[in-house]
Amino acid sequence: MKQTKVRFSSDKLNYSCNLMRALAHPLRLKILEYIDDKGETSVNKIYHTLQIEQSITSQHLKILRLAGVVQGRRDGKKVFYTINYQVVKKAGMAVDRFLGKTVSV
């Protein structure tokens, strides 16, 4: 019987863990839905609309930004966020492949 060695890249695993962790939180999903609906939007609009504290909003946006899910653009004192749809699409495709679903592009 032949044994197969399984090898994982620790960099890829760390990135994947951070990405899935970022996408797996209900409040972060609400934030992403809001940005998706409104397009580029400021932190102020996000926390006022979703009725969450500014510090909590910023913490969740930081996790999303570090995972590459959102991109921030500073304009004076305001920071505006957009979704990096390429990263979101790749994450969705990876989950579908993992679950054995047919991937359509």
pTM of the predicted protein model: 0.82
Confidence of residue 14 (pLDDT cuts 50, 70, 90): confident
With helix as H, strand as E and coil as C, how does 45-77 read?
Answer: HHHHHHCCCHHHHHHHHHHHHHCCCEEEEEECC
Which tens digit of pLDDT belongs to each residue from 65-82?
999 999 999 999 999 999
Question: Helix crossing, 26-38 with 10-23: angle to 10°?
Answer: 80
Fold observed for domain 12-98: Arc Repressor Mutant, subunit A (1.10.10)
Predicted pLDDT at 99:
84
Which tens digit of pLDDT belongs to each residue from 81-90?
999 999 999 8
Confidence of residue 8 (pLDDT cuts 50, 70, 90): confident
Predicted pLDDT at 102:
59
